[in-house]
Amino acid sequence: MGVFRRQLLYLTNDQLTAYQWEKGSYSAGHSFPNNETGWEDFSLHLAGSQNTPIYLLADLIEEDFQRDSLPHVLGRSRRALVQRRLSQLYRDTPYRQAIQQGREEQGRKDDLMLFSALTNAELLKPWLDAVLQRKAPLTGIYSPALLSAALIKKLGLTHDSTRASPAFPFGPARSGSEPHRASHNLLLVTHQSSGLRQSFFQGSALKFSRLTPLADHNPDTVADAIAREAANTQQFLASARLLSRGEVLDAVVLAHGEGLQRLRSVCQDSPAIAHRFFDLADAATRLGLKTPDSITLCDPLFLSLLGHVVPASHYAQPEQIRCFSLWQTRLALYILSAGIVAGALLSAGANSLEAVHHYQQSRQMAVETRLTQSQHEAIVHSLPHTVASPQNMKAAVNIEQMISRNAPAPTELFGIVSHALDVLPQIRVDQLHWQVSKKDETAEGAIDPQQPQPVPVTEDQAPGASLIGIPRKPSQILLIEGEVTSLKQDYRTALESVRLFAAELGKSNKQLAAEITRPPLDVKPTVKLTGSAGAEERDTKSRFMLKLTLRPES
Amino acid sequence: MAQNKSNPKQDQAKDKSAPAMRSFMKNDFPLIRKALITLIASLLLSAVLVSAGRAIRLKQQDSLVQAQAQRNDASTGLHQAENDKQEIHDYQPAFMALRERGFVGEERRLDWIEHIKYIQENRKLLPITYEISAQQVFQIDPEEFQINDLELRGSKMIFQMGLLHEGDLLNFLDDLKRNGFYAAQECKIKRAGTELESAHLPLAAECMIYWLTLGDRVDSPEQTPQ
């Protein structure tokens, strides 16, 4: 499929010339005469051209231009209005079109329209029949006159572009006219294989164009024809009120270098018309043609406009360019297919690469696994026989060490009491009750001092390991019951002795808390106090109770 | 009637002059049929390519995961074996000593009571009475201490003894450690009388301890503490 190839058809009244356009250059033209033989040859030529877009450039004498104004309406009403006017103007041909060229400045500000048509439809019919029969993708039917608007823009001849870019490759003006001057009234004179075309522009808007056939393409003949036809056209434009009185027509002639000298001598400037000459080679260079010096006619300039860009079709009917739409659809489908396959290949490639990477990693890991397993077997074979698993041995040793370190015993608290009794001989201990606390001793959670808490283990209940120091030492409680001896109702001394005893116990270990739970005499204002004075009270004793709490170091 | 006769002729003429009705399937579709077939084939081919690539990648990915798991298992096994070797080296002597001393293995109640009798006689202590309860299993929180697949067992023993001095109790408890492992829980010492002169009377002691042994875990629901 020739995505980048185009077939350019140049149709004149006498013949059709086919060019192959590819990558900015065109092949030698293949001409077909306008007769049955030519039509058949052309049909054969189109065989196999279903994949090459075709651009038909109709450079015909029978192209008519009409200027008119239409009320400024939009949308469907505008289309209907334009179609109605086209039907009125060009009843016998389907190849017609309209261009809006601004609006009137006065009155209703109607739209200024240019209507044009290829009036001899029969001239196109055999060629288009061949194209449609071959189902070749016809892009459109184009007119050199309408393309001239694009041509003068590219050549910098328009009024607007002249102001923007004043440098032009004009040849020297014959009568001292300013070469770079832009004109509002421009007559573009081009010499093509079909003859001499004169296109009149006001600003950049085409107003009129006509093709004059030439007897031959001799430079002298062409020069004379240009001089004559330009003068005739100036008179026509003046009579058609396209040129106001006193306005100068700026005739720009695109000519081959050899004919320029002849043209300068033939084309005489007058108050009504001024001639300027544009070398075809320079124009071809500006349009990007690859061999500008070999160009002698303007045909390639118009063809290049079709080769480089795709302008909207001027005259083609929708059913005539249907194959082009299908060609575009086909192209889109092929591109989509290629994209999908490319994406799938990329995906498959990425997956394959990843799979190969995974495979290599798996192989590497298998090698590492075998090596590790062999090392493992070697170590296992070297292990000595044991009565228990290493983990059990470790656990047994650890738990024994923990028990040895944390297991509670009364020895420490008994020793502390013994030492304090040595310091305070007036204290006599009657009962020691040591026990492991069932819970962590805290300031908030002190146990009832009056009643020692039994170890919370029943016969059936499994004891908690915290009682034996796993994982940390438990708190220990020692309840001391005793009395202060050698005192006879000296409660003050007794109270002081017990306080000193508690202080002596407490200072031996900072983790040890001593609390007098029952003093020798309860002097709190909230309790009842009974006693007697003077009588010998044999039963009166200064009995007390202390609670020692040894908390484990945190 | 004349008009009726002429109408078919006019209609036929119109039919001939009128362009044939375009049909998309007849006129247009053939032009894009190959492209459509190509697109469908491309889609199928792409689906096969993507699926096959994905399947191969997933298969190799699974193989890789499996190989990683095998390598990790082997690595863990090797690490475990090295640990075992080191732990055997580090702990086996101490463990064997614990077995010898009766901490690991079955209870040796006979040894314990013989040892109590020996201490009483050796220390010339006042008579000692004791009562050993049925063995129980200690509850150990596995989050606080890992005991592996062992269990710590304890047999509660309550004993009473008279004391000439509180040191007798401490000596007894100290001697008891030589032939077993235990943890004391409660001890009460009180004088035989409360009078002043009772300071010279013997003391009475009552203690509760746990004899401790370590054995393999028995997965019996009756004996496993909840």
Residue B150 sits in a domain whose CATH number is 3.30.70.60
Same domain, B128 and B67: no
**At residue A442, does pLDDT exceed 50?**
no
Would you say residue A443 lies in a domain? yes
Residue A275 sits in a domain whose CATH number is 3.30.420.40
CB A258: neighbour CB atoms within 10 A?
Answer: 10
**At residue A62, does pLDDT exceed 60?**
yes
The mean pLDDT value for A59-86 works out to: 91
Would you say residue A419 lies in a domain? yes
**Cβ-defined contact of A348 to B94 (cutoff 8 Å):** no
Examine the fold and report which residue of A286, A316, A339 is the final residue of a domain before the chain moves on.
Answer: A286
Would you say residue A329 lies in a domain? no
Residues 476-495 of A with CB under 8 A from B: 485
Q: Between the CA of residue A285 and those of A145, A191, A278, A289, what are the distances in Å?
A: 21, 17, 12, 6
Minimal C-alpha gap between B96 and chain A (Å): 9
Would you say residue A493 lies in a domain? yes
pLDDT at A157: 83
- Of B39, B74, B147, nearest to A399 by CB-CB distance is B147
Residues 389-428 of A with CB under 8 A from B: 389-397, 399-400, 402-403, 407-411, 414, 418, 428
List all residues 6 or more positions away from A478 whose beta carbon is below 8 Å from its beta carbon. A410, A413, A414, A417, A432, A433, A434, A547, A548, A550
Residue B104 with chain A: CB contacts under 8 Å = 388, 396
**At residue A129, does pLDDT exceed 60?**
yes
pLDDT at A170: 42
Name the phi and psi angles at B40, rounded to 5: -65, -45
Task: Please write down the HEC assignment for all residues of chain B.
Answer: CHHHHHHHHHHHHHHHHCCCCCCHHHHHHHHHHHHHHHHHHHHHHHHHHHHHHHHHHHHHHHHHHHHHHHHHHHHHHHHHHHHHHHHHHHHHHHHHHHHHCCCECCCCHHHHHHHHHHHHHHHCCCCEEEEEEEEEECECCCCCCCCCCEEEEEEEEEEEEEECCHHHHHHHHHHHHHHCCEEEEEEEEEECCCCHHHHHCCEEEEEEEEEEEEEECCCCCCCCCC
**At residue A3, does pLDDT exceed 70?**
no
What is the DSSP code (8-state) at residue A292?
G
**Cβ-defined contact of A399 to B64 (cutoff 8 Å):** no
Name the phi and psi angles at B157, rounded to 5: -125, 125
* Cα separation, A383 vs A389, whole angstroms: 11
**Cβ-defined contact of B35 to A337 (cutoff 8 Å):** yes
Spatial CA neighbour of A34 closest among A16, A58, A47, A56: A16
Examine the fold and report which residue of B83, B100, B117 is the final residue of a domain before the chain moves on.
Answer: B100
Would you say residue B132 lies in a domain? yes
Q: What's the pTM value of the predicted model, to 2 decimals?
A: 0.60
The answer, for A372 touching chain B at a CB cutoff of 8 Å, is yes
Coil, helix or strand for A328? helix
* Cα separation, A136 vs A47, whole angstroms: 9
Same domain, B115 and B52: no
The answer, for B135 touching chain A at a CB cutoff of 8 Å, is no
Q: What is the ipTM of this complex?
A: 0.74
Same domain, B78 and B177: no
The angle, 0 to 180 degrees and rounded to 10, between the axes of the packed helices A390-406 and B29-100 is: 60
Residue B165 with chain A: CB contacts under 8 Å = none
CB A147 within 8 A of CB A302: yes
Report the greatest alpha carbon distance in chain A: 170
Would you say residue B3 lies in a domain? no
For the stretch A262-316, pLDDT in tens is: 888 888 888 889 988 888 888 888 888 888 878 888 988 888 888 777 777 779 8
pLDDT at B62: 95
Residue B67 with chain A: CB contacts under 8 Å = 361-362, 365-366, 369
**At residue A368, does pLDDT exceed 90?**
yes
pLDDT at B144: 83
What is the DSSP code (8-state) at residue A464?
B
pLDDT at B29: 86
Nearest CA in chain A to B156: A459
- Of A354, A376, A485, nearest to B196 by CB-CB distance is A485
CB B186: neighbour CB atoms within 10 A?
Answer: 19
- Of B38, B140, B199, nearest to A337 by CB-CB distance is B38
Same domain, B71 and B113: no
Would you say residue B37 lies in a domain? yes
**At residue A159, does pLDDT exceed 80?**
no
The answer, for B106 touching chain A at a CB cutoff of 8 Å, is no
pLDDT at B82: 92
Would you say residue A131 lies in a domain? no
Same domain, A416 and A546: yes
**At residue A46, does pLDDT exceed 70?**
yes
Same domain, B115 and B95: no
The answer, for A335 touching chain B at a CB cutoff of 8 Å, is no
Q: A462 vs A446, which has greater pLDDT? A: A462
Same domain, B142 and B206: yes
Would you say residue B120 lies in a domain? yes
The answer, for A218 touching chain B at a CB cutoff of 8 Å, is no
Residue A310 structure tokens: 């795709």
List all residues 6 or more positions away from B96 whose beta carbon is below 8 Å from its beta carbon. A387
Would you say residue A449 lies in a domain? yes
Enumerate the β-bridge partners of residue A209. Answer: A199
Same domain, B54 and B148: no
Q: Which domain holds residue A282?
A: 144-286
Residue with tokens 């009798």: B117
Examine the fold and report which residue of B82, B100, B118 is the final residue of a domain before the chain moves on.
Answer: B100
Residue A548 CA, distance from chain mean position: 78
Name the phi and psi angles at A534, rounded to 5: 95, -35
Mean pLDDT of chain B: 84
The count of domains in chain A is 2
For the stretch B118-134, pLDDT in tens is: 999 999 999 999 999 99
The count of domains in chain B is 2
pLDDT at B8: 43
Would you say residue A451 lies in a domain? yes
**At residue A454, does pLDDT exceed 80?**
no
Mean pLDDT of chain A: 84
Same domain, B89 and B169: no
* Cα separation, A351 vs A107, whole angstroms: 72
Residues 161-200 of B with CB under 8 A from A: 166, 169-170, 173-174, 181-191, 194, 196, 199
Examine the fold and report which residue of A227, A258, A286 is the final residue of a domain before the chain moves on.
Answer: A286
Would you say residue B221 lies in a domain? no
* Cα separation, A82 vs A354, whole angstroms: 64
Q: Which domain holds residue B46?
A: 19-100
pLDDT at B201: 63
The mean pLDDT value for A244-264 works out to: 85
pLDDT at A471: 87
Examine the fold and report which residue of B100, B135, B156 is the final residue of a domain before the chain moves on.
Answer: B100
* Cα separation, B28 vs A318, whole angstroms: 14
Strand order of the sheet with strand A427-436? A512-518, A542-550, A476-484, A427-436, B182-191, B203-216, B150-163, B128-137
Would you say residue A477 lies in a domain? yes
pLDDT at A541: 64
Would you say residue B4 lies in a domain? no
pLDDT at A333: 94
CB B158 within 8 A of CB A459: no
Q: Which residues does chain B have with pLDDT short of 70?
A: 1-22, 193-201, 219-226
Report the greatest alpha carbon distance in chain B: 165
**At residue A542, does pLDDT exceed 80?**
no
* Cα separation, A309 vs A311, whole angstroms: 6
Examine the fold and report which residue of A271, A286, A301 is the final residue of a domain before the chain moves on.
Answer: A286
Would you say residue B10 lies in a domain? no
